[in-house]
Structure 1
Amino acid sequence: MSTTLIIAASRGIGLELARQAIDAGERVIATARSETALAQLRELGAQALRLDVADVASVSGLAWQLDGEKIDTAWYVAGVICSRANATQPPTREQFDSVMHTNVLGAMQVIPQVVPLVESAGGRMAFISSAMGLIGEVGSSGAWLYRVSKAALNMAVKSAQASYPGATLVCLHPGWVQTDMGGSSAPVTAVQSAAGMRRVMAAVTPQDQGAFFSYDGQRASTW
């Protein structure tokens, strides 16, 4: 039985990834912040771990919670948008800290703790990013703080790949999804997004190390 780790599985895409992985017969370890979310994950059949990626102390304890594990597939789903302002409005320090801490620092703190466990299984790890972070495709400054954070996440993953040759690290664009962040008018459901990204991850090989994919399988040619 393969082992899947999902970081930030309390709702939306993360919860749906957990549900689909369990339905597929995978052993799932999933994290959440609240007791309500942890209970929901346990009801699904996941091993639930308390984790807040915005809390340095919480993240620092992840390694011992996963001690001895070999992770076949890992997902970093945590992400916030906070402000949709464009470049005519500077972000506040609080907005900057909130978005960059969760979207970038959280991932950079998780990587040294989780990727060695992925390497030990010859596995792969996906980081939920966004096409809005692709520098080569920028056509607007809308939600520019979010864009900057996802561009930074892409670089963090791409550069980290060199330190972990035994694992395959990729960034994934989940599409515009019907979540709290994407809104109810988004064209892609969480079920569709999760299923698409799972298909992508099932197909990636070491030749795809450091790549950027969309949930529909398209690979970005420019970052």
Structure 2
Amino acid sequence: MATVLVVGASRGIGLEFVRQYRAAGERVIATARDDAGLARLRDLGATALRVDVAQPASVSGLAWQLDGEKIDIALYVAGAWVTADARTPPTREDFDRLMHTNVLGAMQAIPQVAPLVEAAPHGRFAFITSEMGRIRGVDDSMAWVYRASKAALNMAVAAAQHDYPRAILVALSPGWVQTNMGGAAAPLTVDQSVAGMRAALDGLGPQHKGAFLDHDGTPFEGW
């Protein structure tokens, strides 16, 4: 039985990771920031921890809550979104919210969680990013703050990999998914996206360290 950690699991993709890993018989530890989210996690049989990734003091408490654990698969799923394009200057509040949730929260979680991933054989740590974080081939400026935050996350993962050589760290895009963020027109359901990412995680090897991958495990060329 593997131990799986899902950071940011109260809804959408994070909650589906919990559901699928629990259905597969794995032990799951998952985080949410409010009582309703924690209740949903407990209903699925996960060990639920209260963490708000946008609050540095809250993230800093994750290490002691996980003391002594060996994490086979860790997932940083928490994310925030704003649609405004480059014709609209971002507000400080929106910029801070996206950068704290999508980048700073992940960067704070890495030194707390990555050593626990290194302690497990073939430990893997995936950060849910987006193809919109690619710099090559950008076709519009929609959600430009979100794009910038995901590009920053991809760099943080690639850089951090060098300090945790016994783990595999990857930035993993879920694809275009039917969530509140992706909308009903998206081609992938949440369960299809998560099933694909789980298969990709199972197939990770040393050649994937620090990589930026699509939901099926295909590397993005020319970030």
TM over 0.5: yes
Q: CA deviation at 1:34?
A: 1.2
Counterparts of 1:116 and 1:217, CA distance in 2: 24
Q: CA deviation at 1:184?
A: 2.0
Q: CA deviation at 1:180?
A: 1.4
Question: Where do 1:183-194 residues align within 5 Å?
Answer: 183-194=183-194
Q: CA deviation at 1:185?
A: 2.1
Question: Where do 1:35-114 residues align within 5 Å?
Answer: 35-81=35-81, 83-114=82-113
Counterparts of 1:60 and 1:128, CA distance in 2: 20
Counterpart of 1:40, as a letter, is R
Question: Where do 1:147-186 residues align within 5 Å?
Answer: 147-186=147-186
| 1:87-119, Cα deviation, whole Å (9 max, x unpaired) | 121101111001100000000000000000001
TM-score, with length taken from structure 2: 0.97
Between 57-66 and 131-140, the greater mean CA deviation after superposition: 131-140
Q: What is residue 18 of structure 2 aligned with on the other side? A: 18
Q: Does 1:145 align with 2:113?
A: no
Q: CA deviation at 1:222?
A: 1.3
Considering only aligned residues, what root-mean-square deviation do their CA atoms show, in Å?
0.9
Q: What is residue 134 of structure 1 aligned with on the other side? A: 134
Any idea what SS the aligned residue of 1:136 has?
coil
| 1:114-147, Cα deviation, whole Å (9 max, x unpaired) | 0000011130010000010011231211111000
Counterparts of 1:107 and 1:157, CA distance in 2: 9
Counterparts of 1:173 and 1:193, CA distance in 2: 9
Assess if the C-alpha contact under 8 Å between 2:201 and 2:217 holds in 1: no
Any idea what SS the aligned residue of 2:146 has?
helix
Counterpart of 1:188, as a letter, is L
Number of residues of Structure 1 aligned to a counterpart in Structure 2: 222
Counterparts of 2:222 and 2:60, CA distance in 1: 34
Q: CA deviation at 1:165?
A: 0.3
Any idea what SS the aligned residue of 1:135 has?
coil
Counterparts of 1:8 and 1:210, CA distance in 2: 21
Counterparts of 1:94 and 1:43, CA distance in 2: 34
Counterparts of 2:98 and 2:19, CA distance in 1: 27
Counterparts of 1:22 and 1:89, CA distance in 2: 43
Q: CA deviation at 1:183?
A: 1.6
Any idea what SS the aligned residue of 1:199 has?
helix
Q: Does 1:5 align with 2:5?
A: yes
Segments of structure 2 that go 5 or more residues without pairing to the other structure are none
Identical positions, percent: 64
Q: What is residue 210 of structure 1 aligned with on the other side? A: 210
Q: CA deviation at 1:56?
A: 1.1
Any idea what SS the aligned residue of 2:78 has?
coil
Counterpart of 2:32, as a letter, is A
